[in-house]
Chain A
Amino acid sequence: MKANPRDVRTGTYYMDGDIAAGYGALAAGCRFIGGYPITPSTEAAESFARIAPQSGAVFVQMEDELASVASIMGASWSGVKTMTITSGPGYSLMMEAIGLGAMMEAPFVILNIQRGGPSTGVPTKTGQADMMQSRWGSHGDYEVIAISPDSPQELFDFMIKAFNLAEKYRCPVMVMSDECVGHMSEKVVVPPAEEIELEPRRIYTGPKEEYLPFKPDQDLVPKMVKAGDGYNLYVSGASHDERGYPIIYQKGKNQSDSTARRLVDKIRLNADKIIELHEEKLDDAEVVVVSYGITSRVAVRGIELARKKGIKVGKLRLVTVWPFPDQRISELAAKVKAFVVPEINYGQVVYDVERCSHGEANVVLVPHGGAGVHDPEDILEAIEYAATEKKKIRKVIIRKTRLEKKVFGGGLK
């Protein structure tokens, strides 16, 4: 299915990432955004609000983040593509509804332009500290998909990718960007509509009386109908059977087997089809820098500097952060000496890299407190350390930045 020309503002622009995201959402066919403004994501909502009415799409500024996600789920079951936009504290507020979205299998997208935290943190500056919250934030067992753009162009492109994944797997899809990408202005090319491929909704077409809203297809994802089609749907946030009816106990099964288990499995068992990675210079690499979002662009400089010094270092960029590329990291761990993981937090995704390396390779964290990006020299130093460390230290090695060394000296372990 191609994008509707009405929704695509084809052209070449110089715009910031947030605005590009608004353009991307509309091009993806988003018809409704229920959102609540929060720095530094506001421009994405503003951009959508400005261009939406001309396409018949609606932006409603809801009363809070809980209402935002609840409203987009209602809209999703009404048959439209839908998303919300947020950052830090707003994202925390959305967690309850994200669980409901997973349970109701409503396709929707959340754009998180990450900022520093905890709490109000640094509202106007960058961070990458919501990564684990994406994966584990709501209660209970479920899986989400999270992708991480590193440029305004990708904020446009990844909105389309996110909507496509949401329709395909019927789960919450997170676009985990950050302030730096959101507020960065670069060239953004919006292609003609015929070059934008959209995933259509998985609509049920069989006999009406045989429809079961939560009966999965072979890939574990059920087909959907929409409210008002006369199916008398029952969609519940409670554990349910294939009809959607609440269940507590079924003979021979516990509730996890019948609901939460499939919500997890539909992502885990399809992970190979979902995961996208960008790899560079990995053929001869002894050290691999694993990064995502804005940090993957900073890492390029660190890798360049290290290569100039003759260190065999490669780049693995997580385009898809969740589901995590367990298998690829494990394969690399068997071949390389170490991973270097720069993140704008004090250690989140690095622990998944450690988990998947099974103690076969050292894992070096280059943390950053936020409000800015890494100094490539810090990444270089971590690469140099990783390349020379001979013993396997079977836990995450946390590097101090040069600034930290200056401030805290050797005292801080």
Chain B
Amino acid sequence: MDVHPMDDVLRMDRIPHIWCPGCGIGTAVTAFAEGLKKAEIDLQKTCIVSGIGCTGRVAGYVKLDSFHTTHGRGIAFATGIQVANPDLKVIVFSGDGDIMSIGGNHFIHAARRNVNMLVICVNNFIYAMTGGQVAPTTPHAAYATTSPFGAVEPPFNIPYIADSSGAVYVARWTVLQVRRLTDSIAEALKKPGFSVIEVISPCAMYYSRINRLGDGLDMMKFYHDNTEIRHGEDTKNLDIGFQTKIIVGKFVDRERPTYMDSYNKWLSGTVKD
């Protein structure tokens, strides 16, 4: 029987997956699987943690030690994994609702501590699995089922929050830029410390339908025409409006001691038996 090239990274016994036609999460997972191979890290020492929601299902499809936790708690759970066994590399793969809303506090504190983990946040601008409600990333004026007159609140700029909270690596790509996303994931996987990659992804079933943006393919065409790569761009310039230009690229790549490095270095100098 032919072996699929991703057989060793995916739980093929769980395929078919639950994602809708036109969804971008599968593409993000493909990039992740390729990125894992490209980074050549020890997969047996790599864990993946998700919260819940559509992207929260990723942990269950990837053949690593996988943890599917409660809404928003993936980063806190991953912190425990990392601190208890610093040899493990942890990836938190979850959605914008999960990581930036209910999990927002865990996100900024893990960044502040510089816990050694890679956070891949799939941003589809909406709460998808619960049925298209407004998210903290929904662009101003975009429709959602709980913002039937258009979102009133300004959305989060994820790279800006990551940057200002202390992340050492911050990038943003859309699921159209698969090769660049893959390279970015491979690069971030090898980087010690708190890395964040925002992945802009179409939600064809809710976001684009409610906002009359066409199907998944139309969203991809939009990304094609309206994304601009600006590496090193100041993160405060990365706001995303409704159907406005999306700036992508690698914005932050810096060195800071990881949480466990700081912890061990500090204590070895101060603690006596």
- Interface residues contributed by chain A, number (CB under 8 Å): 45
User: Which positions 209-265 of chain A face chain B at CB distance < 8 Å?
Assistant: 226-238, 245-246
- Within 8 Å CB of A232, what residues of B? 11, 63-66
Are B88 and A228 in contact (CB-based, < 8 A)? yes
- Does A54 make an interface contact (CB < 8 A)? yes
- Does B21 make an interface contact (CB < 8 A)? no
Once A63-B106, A237-B69 are accepted as A-B contacts, the answer to whether A245 and B77 lie under 8 Å apart by CB is no
- Does A100 make an interface contact (CB < 8 A)? yes
- Does A67 make an interface contact (CB < 8 A)? yes
User: Which positions 45-73 of chain B face chain A at CB distance < 8 Å?
Assistant: 45, 47, 49, 52, 59-60, 63-70, 72-73
Q: Which single member of B59, B84, B271 contacts A32 (CB below 8 Å)?
A: B84
Number of A-B pairs, beta carbon distance below 8 Å: 138
- Within 8 Å CB of B76, what residues of A? 34, 62-63, 66-68, 70-71, 74
Are A236 and B68 in contact (CB-based, < 8 A)? yes
Are A233 and B263 in contact (CB-based, < 8 A)? no
How distant is the Cα of A62 from the Cα of B109 in the complex, in angstroms? Answer: 8
Q: Which single member of A60, A62, A68, A227 contacts B65 (CB below 8 Å)?
A: A227
User: For chain A, what secondary structure do more than half of its interface residues adopt (helix, strand, loop), or is it mixed?
Assistant: mixed
Are B80 and A235 in contact (CB-based, < 8 A)? no
- Within 8 Å CB of B212, what residues of A? none
User: Which positions 55-71 of chain A face chain B at CB distance < 8 Å?
Assistant: 58, 60, 62-64, 66-68, 70-71
- Does B226 make an interface contact (CB < 8 A)? no
Are B60 and A97 in contact (CB-based, < 8 A)? no
- Interface residues contributed by chain B, number (CB under 8 Å): 38
- Does A82 make an interface contact (CB < 8 A)? yes
Chain B interface (Cβ within 8 Å of chain A)? Answer: 11, 14, 44-45, 47, 49, 52, 59-60, 63-70, 72-73, 76-85, 87-88, 105-106, 109, 263, 267, 271, 273
How distant is the Cα of A64 from the Cα of B52 in the complex, in angstroms? Answer: 19
Are B267 and A53 in contact (CB-based, < 8 A)? yes
- Within 8 Å CB of A79, what residues of B? 84-85
How distant is the Cα of A229 from the Cα of B65 in the complex, in angstroms? Answer: 9
Q: Which single member of B14, B84, B106 contacts A31 (CB below 8 Å)?
A: B84
- Within 8 Å CB of B64, what residues of A? 232
Are A34 and B85 in contact (CB-based, < 8 A)? no
How distant is the Cα of A72 from the Cα of B68 in the complex, in angstroms? Answer: 15
- Does A364 make an interface contact (CB < 8 A)? no
Are A70 and B77 in contact (CB-based, < 8 A)? yes
